[in-house]
Structure 1
Amino acid sequence: MEYQFDLSPSDDDIKVIRDGLIRHNTPHLEGIRKQSLALYAIDEREQKQGGIYAEVWGNWLLIKFLWVDEAVRGQQVGSQLMERLEQQAIKLGCRQSLVDTLSFQARPFYEKLGYQCQMTLEDYPQSSSLHFLTKTLSA
């Protein structure tokens, strides 16, 4: 067998690896629901001023991306997006939520919403820290 490093793999190369992993994992994870969902904050001009993208995986809400435009920060847009997303996740059967955030991003914001830090990776990727926070969701 030959081994090769590739310092700039193509999307197709990455897909081969990901697809192989999915094939391996599927028999162990069959029946677990996976669903994507997004929520947007749209202004009177019908422009997106914020949004959140997440996945439901089993009974977990996995928050992937949260963005609020600079022009509307401080106006509770992020809090409203989170509250609405969590309520929808509860309707979909979620009992827990997970989010990660870098030290220069939004840890205090998530903690204000009831998230608790479970783990921190220091010097990630170099001079920052990566925080993993969870919250128990309740109706």
Structure 2
Amino acid sequence: MFRLEAEVDRNRRDLLRSRLRESDAAASPVLRSLLGTPGGRETPLHVWALDEAGALAGGLVGHTWTTWLHVAHLWVDARHRGRGLGSGLLTEAERVAGEERGCRRARLETWDFQAPRFYRRHGYEVVCVIEDYPPGITEYTLTKRLA
């Protein structure tokens, strides 16, 4: 019997995630050794930029896991674009990930109309291209070796 749910059931989601990690750890000695360490847990990494009035000017939301930084979202308000704010947010996240959390690599996904050129200018390389995801748009996965 199957049951389809559109709403998030956090307890069931967490149970599923836990069971998947157990299965993965059983199948992979590398994951088995990592999952029991502090670096084996996803740790949020958020960087915020506020304007003079204290309003949100931009931000980066991501997490670190093992030796990787994963940038999930990077956004700068239109009034603050072109002034280096996005570069500053990305640079600070990479610094914290590398210097404070021991990350050696970073990864992110972006669409063709968003910022692939921005990330390339910051040393990221395209490792995956998915065309028509969603229809009419190309998604890129990029990675970077951190200093």
> When the two structures are superposed, what TM-score results if normalisation uses the length of structure 2?
0.84
Structure 2: gaps (5+ residues): 26-34
**Rounded Cα–Cα distance in structure 2 between residues aligned with 1:15 and 1:78:** 35
**Rounded Cα–Cα distance in structure 2 between residues aligned with 1:33 and 1:16:** 19
SS of aligned partner of 1:79: helix
Higher helix fraction (1 or 2): 2
Pairing 1:20-99 to 2, within 5 Å after superposition: 20-26=16-22, 28=25, 29-31=35-37, 32-91=40-99, 92-99=101-108
Q: Does 1:129 align with 2:138?
A: yes
| One-letter code aligned to 1:3 | F
> When the two structures are superposed, what TM-score results if normalisation uses the length of structure 1?
0.88
Deviation at 1:110, TM superposition (A): 0.3
Q: Which residue in the other structure is 2:28 paired with? A: none
- Structure 1 ranges of 4+ moved more than 6 A: none
**Rounded Cα–Cα distance in structure 2 between residues aligned with 1:62 and 1:72:** 24
| One-letter code aligned to 2:57 | Q
Flag the 1:132–1:23 CA change in 2: closer, same or farther, 3 A. same
Pairing 1:90-129 to 2, within 5 Å after superposition: 90-91=98-99, 92-129=101-138
Deviation at 1:26, TM superposition (A): 4.1
Deviation at 1:11, TM superposition (A): 1.5
Structure 1: gaps (5+ residues): none
Q: Which residue in the other structure is 2:7 paired with? A: 10
**Rounded Cα–Cα distance in structure 2 between residues aligned with 1:102 and 1:19:** 31
**Rounded Cα–Cα distance in structure 2 between residues aligned with 1:26 and 1:79:** 38
Deviation at 1:15, TM superposition (A): 4.8
Q: Which residue in the other structure is 2:29 paired with? A: none
After superposition, the CA RMSD in angstroms is 1.7
